[in-house]
Structure 1
Amino acid sequence: MVVGKIGRQCRALEACFLEAFGEVHQNRDGPGGNAYPAGREIFTFSYGSRPLVQSRGEDFRLLFEVRASVELLLRSRQVTPRNVRLETTPLRSGLNHKRLCCDTNVRLIAAPRLMPPRVMSEQTIIEELQRQLRESKKGQEKAEKERQEERQRAEKAEKERQEERQRAEKAEKERQEERQRAEAAEKERQEERQRVEALEQQTQPTKLDEYIAACHSLVFSNLNIERNRELTSKGSITNPRNKWCPTHIQPWSDFIQQQRITFGTIYDTFPADRRVFENRAFLSGLGKRISLRSISDEKTLESFLHNSVEDPVKTIIDQLKQVEGVRSAFDLGNGIIFENHPHAISDLSEEVVYRDTPSTPPATPNHSLDLNRLRPDQICVYRSNNAGSETRTMIYISEYKPPHKLTAPHLRLGLRPMNIYKEVVNRKTIPTSIDPDGRFQYYAERLTAAAITQTYHYMIEGGLEYGLLTTGEAIVFLKIDWSEPETLLYHLAEPDAEVLAHPSYFHLCTAVGQYLAFSLMALGLQGERRLRGQDERHQATEKLKTWVEDFETTLRSIPVDERHAPNSSPAYQPKTYQSVDRSPYPLRKRRPRQVGDEPNKEEVHREPAESSDDESARYLPETPSPTERRIRQRGRGDQGARRSERILARRPRDGDGGGSNEQDRPYCTQKCLLGLVKGGYLDVRCPNMALHNRQSNSPCDHDRGPISSCIRHPINHAQFLEILFEQLKRSLDDGITPLVHGGARGVLFKVSLLKFGYTFVSKGTVQAFVKDLEHEATVYKRLQPVQGIYVPVFLGNIDLRLMNRVYYYDHRVYIIHMTFLSWGGYEFDATGVVSGEGQFKGKAMQSLRAIHQLGIAHKDVRGANMLFNEEVNGVMMIDFERALLLEPPRPPLVQLVPNKRGWRPDTAESIKSVGKSGDRGEASRIFSDEIGLMKIVFGVHNR
């Protein structure tokens, strides 16, 4: 058998087939005479094609051509389908990664009976083949055309499906883009709304709770303690030498309860939704600025606390006082003042510090020997009594201690119930380095005791019930129970730790919240007594001991590595009072507790300047001249002028002074007090004459006129000073009332000699300026001829040190010397009183020339040192601390005193006889300069 490989061309197929058929034919016609057995394979060929499922038209055409050619050849060899059949069977199948290939065999198989072949001509065969090829070609073309059309329809349908899918995808894409744009727009709107809300939240005024929380989180939390020892302040934490020392210290057991009640009262009376406080944006900026400056000394600590705590507390109280309910619950007055500037004559002021110290120290605790007095470690907190009033009352004192000197662990261990004088001051044994915990405990108790002793000392001096000590990190709130002043109560607060431990009521735990509650507790209720009197303070100090140890040396002896608590020390655990209820005490069903029902007293308390003005005016001369009447109307018509009156009788500061009878008593007249000094007669026009006359047993000189004008004073000048000395020694509260005004060298009091009713003015001063007032007394002695006319009447002076007393006028203002004068008059506002009244310039000039005639150069000629006195219808010069005693000029040709009735014949002679030999030319130049200065003063006012 011959097997031929058939390709795509018919001729090759035909040749191969003929060759094979010839062999078959020979075998059939050969010997044996019979053809191949039935079923024997006589011819096989194969062809390869592409996968049928993916065949193109030419593959089908090739298949038809092969079959047609085989049939034609068989017929041409007289082999018909009855003799053989053409089978197309799958030969094998193969797979590759792209297509399925299929090979097909074409077999020529002998039939059981072979018919004789029919002989066809070659031409016929060719034509037949051509015909079949044409038919096959047509069939193929038709099939191909149908396939192409079908393919085109399929492609068109596919294209349409693709286009539909693309349109759907495009529509979906557009929907997604629209949705994305909508989502983006909504996101932008939300972000814009959030930005607006955030901006509004940052810039809108805050509510009370919001403000307290923001002050803590945005400002106070930026406390930054300097850790580099080279950059921190050096030296002792304090110097408790000669400071009054408490005998016992005890925990302030009901402090938190009082704090809760205070906040409950606030929430009960102040509208919670009122937005009146500073916004978060401001507080945030403030906190950022604060964070840039670390706490390295008392000054930086003061600045931090002023911005983060004290100013916010003052702001809150300024808003609380606007609400009637809060005003009825607390005695707010016109708010509070955190004062960090010392009084002009306190021992902290520069001029006082640099004055010479006396060689003989007083018997009382030595205030002037504190050589470290210019430290900015104390501030005083005052209640501003009324709007437009200069009066104020101290409510507590605040002491600063930097946190690198007095640490929180020191306070945690150092504050415990103890006899401080026995267990700290006089302790003899000191733990060794073998016991680090005990050694640190010892140092902690010593440092803490030294710090609170200094605060306690100033609380006792100021007659205060409340005080505090703060390091910024921790606050020690202090209280003195004046029924037992030797015991000091304490409460340690650590705001940061307490805020974390009490998240539900953290407002009460913040530094601002605790300062606020403490300040309101110190302000107290309407009518409550705040300051203790001078006598009660003196009695308390008699029971106390002083700390006399040099603490600075002790502090510096502590090694640096022992100033921090050991790792095993319990001092690292902050005080949080976690088990204590910190919620505000509910007061909705309770009425604020009232202390007495004194509307009249309250009214006077709110308007002290006005009431004092009316009291003084009530005792002016009964028949003033027209000029005086105009001045009085102007002076009382302007409240601002009333506030500037200098030596005016006023109500005592809260807790000081005597009873209402003495403080409301009018001043004696110039003529009355001048008669007392000179041993003359009582003045019938003195408002206190009845009190003087009640004790008088002197006979009347009937030659002087009616009996009411011929009664002598019940005592002479020397007796007056003796009785006054004994009165002051017995009490510095009865008959003495501190006034608002003062000068650069002293402060003013209203004083009454209780036994005889003499009422006058006192000018008190501190040790540094005693020589100035002694010099002023010398000047007044030379001015004796014009006392009661051009200058006040000088009544003498008393040194309180001789009676072992000190008058605690203000924080660290220790009055030890008092000069007594008649009341000079009102300080006039030149723009309101002098303008258009040329005679006042003339009266002031007349007073100045009068003191010049006695050889006195004032050296401080200004409006504040000139008072208008309606009794003498003239101007009185005051404040002669800087005055010079010079040779008096030649006597004038005419009298300088217009009031001849008050002028005695010996006056002119006295003027002539005053003075010592000296350079009259130099004195005249000085006097001329002062006259020119007086003209300038009035010229400025007249413009």
Structure 2
Amino acid sequence: MASSYVEELLRQLAEERERADRERERANREREHADRAERKLAEEREHAEQKLAEEREHAEQMLAEERERANRAEAKQAPTTLEQYLRLIQQRLVTTLLVESNPVNSASGSVTAVNEKFYPLELCRWDDFEKQLERTFIEISSVFSSRSLFPSETDILGVQRELSPTSRKDEQDIRPFVRSAIEKPAERIVRAYYDLTNRPEKFCFQNNAYSLEYRDPETEIERRSPSKRRSPERKKSQPIPDRWGICEEEGGLRRVCVGEYKAAHKVPDEEIRQVLDTASKNLFLEVLWRKQSGTTNSEQDKAKELVAQILCQAFHYMIQSGLLFGYITSGRTLILLRVDEFAQQRQARESEAQYAPATQLATFALLALRAREMPRDWIVQAENCGIYQWPLVPNPALHQNISLQPQTYGGETSESSGENDDPNDSDYGASQRQSRSQPDQQSRSQNERRRSPRKRTERSVGEYCTQACLLGLVQKSPLDVSCPNFSMHKRSSARGKHPITKDDLCCLLRKQLDRSLDQSCECLDRKGFFGDVGVLFKVTLTEYGYTFVAKGVQKANERDLAHEMKVYSHLVPLQGKNIPVCLGSIALTRPYPLVSMAKVTKMLLMSWAGTSLCYNTWPEGVDIKKETDKTLQTLAQSGVRHDDIRQSNLVWNAERQRVMAIDLQQATITSVTKRQASPPVLHTRKHRKIARSSSHIKGIVI
């Protein structure tokens, strides 16, 4: 019994031990499971933290990249400094020029027509342009400093997109490139420089001069004939430059230089550079002599002739317009010209920006702006003093020693000037000299030119005479004591009457202008006083002090002037009241050269009528419409219909306190009235017709 009890206890103990072992195993399993779960949770937590860190890092990186992109975009849209602007122009615009190399796809024809155009006897280098360029670049760089004044990179990229990506096949294709990549940047540099130095002048390049448009007499005759229509083949082109450098200043516009475009495929920059680097000062005479002797055969001779013709055309325009500065460009080549001073060798480059085409053209423009405008007499003398018209050559004695063998210039051969030459470089600044015998005005000191660039001519023009004064001159009546020039008239008068007749006035003025086109004669084209047919002058007869206006026309429009004279003769009783006083007409012995290359051959002389109604200068309380109608009715009652009524052809005359009609070239005589006493020949309209833009110009000359 005791034994079975012990056995039962042992069995129960064994079961309890077994149960405890199982329980221990289960606890161990649960602990292991909990450990695994905890480890998994820790791993998941670590992975989550790592992923979160990676996402945070990625987000920060994306944010930084976005910020960098925004900064880059903002920088591209921000204004640039001078150095940045020039670098972008060079990288984004200048280097994009592609020239059509296949002659089948490019324009054909001659580069330029130079027959009867003036050429210089000598060609020399512009010796000090390098120094002037360096000096000017340092000066404008110091003024600009780090200021951001120029267009942004985005703006320049926009210009790049607008320029045709195709190759340039002719001169018309070159024009937008030159204007965008060279002229406009140069213009911006000059304008910004003037703004920062408190100069009120404005500089720009433009297509047209501010004066009477040239008209060919033959073309004008055929234009008037309804039975003849001029074919495109027979149409004569106007002998004017492609571009003008214009300065807007106080008192009007002033031209400072001329520009010529040439198709890049017709004037390879390599050929131009080789010729200019090796040409002697007798380039023009050598070319013409070879042509006359029939020895122009080699490619080198043809290249020289091409360059000579290109330079001849620009020189002709410089002389004809009275400007000392001109430039020629094909986009790849920029040649800077100046009459009378030259350069020798090119020097080593130190700053890419300094030698960029835009910088050189800006420097060139600043030099041209500082130069004085040459008087009209200088142009006339230059055309008749020591220069010749292509293809005429001077006396053989002048060029008997000229060699036909290749020559070098300044010690630099064509071989030494080739591979390292920048095709966009213009600093060699080819320049031309008229001749040793050119007018004295050209050889005057450079100091005088720089000191007084505003001194346009040696004119001395007085105040306008009154209507009563000039009417008295025509009618041989007593002097008008209210005339501002009364004292000068009285000095030579007898018994208080005018010392001369209107016929005397015409004769004396013609002789005065024959002696000098500049003395007491001011062309008002720079103030906008010109139209389709005529240009206005302010003139003083110096001996007697009579001051009045003259309407000048070209030979092609002399018929218009003759018709206007008939209208004035028909309206003698209205002169000095409803229309200006007509003093007569004169034919100029020496045509007056205008900036537009037109030449005035005849003038209609008349009193200054007053200020155009465009400017609202009549006194308060005046019914200007009523006064205008009254004047036009008076004309109609006298048998004349104006036929060109507009504000610019109507003026307010303060002396007569009434509206006067001017510019009668289109007027129609509707009836023939009884002839009235000695009609003072002619004239007409007076001033501002088209091109009124200059009337709003403000500024002073440099």
Given that 1:245 and 1:544 are in contact with CA atoms closer than 8 Å, whether structure 2 keeps it comes out as: no
Do residues 819 (structure 1) and 604 (structure 2) align? yes
SS of residue matched to 2:351: helix
SS of residue matched to 1:322: helix
Supply the distance in 2 between the matched residues of 1:453 and 1:462 (Cα, whole angstroms): 14
Do residues 721 (structure 1) and 588 (structure 2) align? no
Given that 1:462 and 1:531 are in contact with CA atoms closer than 8 Å, whether structure 2 keeps it comes out as: no
Letter paired with 2:67: R
Supply the distance in 1 between the matched residues of 2:491 and 2:266 (Cα, whole angstroms): 63
Given that 2:335 and 2:426 are in contact with CA atoms closer than 8 Å, whether structure 1 keeps it comes out as: no
Relative distance call for 1:746 and 1:913 in structure 2 (3 A) is closer
Supply the distance in 2 between the matched residues of 1:887 and 1:865 (Cα, whole angstroms): 22
- Match of 1:542? 384
Do residues 190 (structure 1) and 64 (structure 2) align? yes
Which of 68, 71, 91 matches 1:217? Answer: 91
- Match of 1:779? 567
**Superposition TM-score, scaled by structure 1 size:** 0.58
Deviations, residues 185-240 of structure 1 (Å, cap 9, x unaligned): 23212211211111111111222222222222222322222334344332211111
Relative distance call for 1:432 and 1:520 in structure 2 (3 A) is closer
The Cα of 1:549 is off from its aligned counterpart by 3.6
Supply the distance in 2 between the matched residues of 1:676 and 1:432 (Cα, whole angstroms): 64
- Match of 2:280? 417
Supply the distance in 2 between the matched residues of 1:290 and 1:195 (Cα, whole angstroms): 27
- Match of 2:409? none
Do residues 691 (structure 1) and 488 (structure 2) align? yes
Given that 1:299 and 1:377 are in contact with CA atoms closer than 8 Å, whether structure 2 keeps it comes out as: no
Deviations, residues 872-928 of structure 1 (Å, cap 9, x unaligned): 222211111111222158xxxxxxxxxxxxxxxxxxx756999xxxxxxxxxxxxxx
Supply the distance in 1 between the matched residues of 2:425 and 2:99 (Cα, whole angstroms): 29
Which of 334, 351, 364 matches 1:475? Answer: 334
Letter paired with 1:733: D
The Cα of 1:730 is off from its aligned counterpart by 0.4
- Match of 2:368? 522
Which of 313, 321, 341 matches 2:208? Answer: 341
- Match of 2:55? 181
Given that 2:355 and 2:425 are in contact with CA atoms closer than 8 Å, whether structure 1 keeps it comes out as: no
- Match of 1:447? 306
Supply the distance in 2 between the matched residues of 1:850 and 1:861 (Cα, whole angstroms): 14
The Cα of 1:823 is off from its aligned counterpart by 0.8
Which of 876, 881, 885 matches 2:665? Answer: 881
Letter paired with 1:543: C
- Match of 2:242? 378
Letter paired with 1:540: A
Deviations, residues 343-397 of structure 1 (Å, cap 9, x unaligned): 56322x7x98841289xxxxxxxxxx996525996111111114xx6x1111111
SS of residue matched to 1:751: strand
Given that 1:474 and 1:492 are in contact with CA atoms closer than 8 Å, whether structure 2 keeps it comes out as: no
- Mean CA deviation greater in 443-452 or 777-786: 777-786
Given that 2:129 and 2:427 are in contact with CA atoms closer than 8 Å, whether structure 1 keeps it comes out as: no
Do residues 509 (structure 1) and 372 (structure 2) align? no
The Cα of 1:491 is off from its aligned counterpart by 8.8
Given that 1:403 and 1:472 are in contact with CA atoms closer than 8 Å, whether structure 2 keeps it comes out as: yes
- Match of 1:792? 580
Task: Give the superposed CA RMSD.
Answer: 3.9
Supply the distance in 2 between the matched residues of 1:403 and 1:860 (Cα, whole angstroms): 46
For 1:634-713, what aligned pairs fall within 5 Å after superposition? 654-659=454-459, 662-663=460-461, 665-696=462-493, 698=494, 700=495, 711-713=496-498
- Mean CA deviation greater in 296-305 or 468-477: 296-305
Given that 2:171 and 2:264 are in contact with CA atoms closer than 8 Å, whether structure 1 keeps it comes out as: no
The Cα of 1:282 is off from its aligned counterpart by 1.5
Letter paired with 1:427: R
Do residues 744 (structure 1) and 532 (structure 2) align? yes
Structure 1 unaligned spans of 5+: 1-147, 359-368, 434-438, 482-487, 551-567, 583-593, 603-652, 701-710, 890-908, 915-943
Letter paired with 2:331: G
Given that 1:226 and 1:295 are in contact with CA atoms closer than 8 Å, whether structure 2 keeps it comes out as: yes
Supply the distance in 2 between the matched residues of 1:375 and 1:314 (Cα, whole angstroms): 25
Letter paired with 2:326: G
Relative distance call for 1:783 and 1:375 in structure 2 (3 A) is closer
Supply the distance in 1 between the matched residues of 2:62 and 2:239 (Cα, whole angstroms): 57
Given that 2:333 and 2:425 are in contact with CA atoms closer than 8 Å, whether structure 1 keeps it comes out as: no
Relative distance call for 1:458 and 1:375 in structure 2 (3 A) is closer
Relative distance call for 1:172 and 1:352 in structure 2 (3 A) is farther
The Cα of 1:178 is off from its aligned counterpart by 4.1
Which of 155, 169, 177 matches 1:282? Answer: 155
Supply the distance in 1 between the matched residues of 2:94 and 2:240 (Cα, whole angstroms): 20
Supply the distance in 2 between the matched residues of 1:206 and 1:579 (Cα, whole angstroms): 23
Given that 1:345 and 1:813 are in contact with CA atoms closer than 8 Å, whether structure 2 keeps it comes out as: yes
Relative distance call for 1:752 and 1:511 in structure 2 (3 A) is same
The Cα of 1:333 is off from its aligned counterpart by 3.9
Letter paired with 1:257: K
The Cα of 1:794 is off from its aligned counterpart by 1.0
- Match of 1:127? none
SS of residue matched to 2:352: helix
- Match of 1:936? none
- Match of 1:34? none
Letter paired with 1:208: L
Structure 2 unaligned spans of 5+: 1-21, 224-232, 393-413, 429-445, 680-702
- Match of 1:131? none
For 1:894-933, what aligned pairs fall within 5 Å after superposition? none
Deviations, residues 111-154 of structure 1 (Å, cap 9, x unaligned): xxxxxxxxxxxxxxxxxxxxxxxxxxxxxxxxxxxxx9xx9999
SS of residue matched to 1:742: coil
- Mean CA deviation greater in 783-792 or 209-218: 209-218
Supply the distance in 2 between the matched residues of 1:370 and 1:379 (Cα, whole angstroms): 24
Given that 1:747 and 1:764 are in contact with CA atoms closer than 8 Å, whether structure 2 keeps it comes out as: yes
For 1:343-362, what aligned pairs fall within 5 Å after superposition? 345-347=212-214, 354-356=219-221
- Match of 2:653? 869
Supply the distance in 2 between the matched residues of 1:507 and 1:248 (Cα, whole angstroms): 32
Supply the distance in 1 between the matched residues of 2:420 and 2:159 (Cα, whole angstroms): 27
- Mean CA deviation greater in 254-263 or 185-194: 185-194
Which of 558, 580, 583 matches 1:770? Answer: 558
The Cα of 1:743 is off from its aligned counterpart by 2.1
Do residues 305 (structure 1) and 178 (structure 2) align? yes
The Cα of 1:301 is off from its aligned counterpart by 1.6
Given that 2:83 and 2:353 are in contact with CA atoms closer than 8 Å, whether structure 1 keeps it comes out as: yes
SS of residue matched to 1:356: helix
Relative distance call for 1:727 and 1:395 in structure 2 (3 A) is same
- Match of 2:3? none
**Superposition TM-score, scaled by structure 2 size:** 0.77
Do residues 239 (structure 1) and 113 (structure 2) align? yes
Supply the distance in 2 between the matched residues of 1:656 and 1:356 (Cα, whole angstroms): 35
SS of residue matched to 1:543: coil
The Cα of 1:540 is off from its aligned counterpart by 2.0
Supply the distance in 2 between the matched residues of 1:197 and 1:538 (Cα, whole angstroms): 60
SS of residue matched to 2:465: coil
Relative distance call for 1:545 and 1:480 in structure 2 (3 A) is closer
- Match of 2:634? 850
Letter paired with 1:859: D
For 1:75-114, what aligned pairs fall within 5 Å after superposition? none
SS of residue matched to 2:477: coil
Given that 1:658 and 1:737 are in contact with CA atoms closer than 8 Å, whether structure 2 keeps it comes out as: no
Given that 1:409 and 1:571 are in contact with CA atoms closer than 8 Å, whether structure 2 keeps it comes out as: no
SS of residue matched to 1:509: coil
Given that 2:331 and 2:424 are in contact with CA atoms closer than 8 Å, whether structure 1 keeps it comes out as: no
SS of residue matched to 1:505: coil
Supply the distance in 2 between the matched residues of 1:781 and 1:441 (Cα, whole angstroms): 63
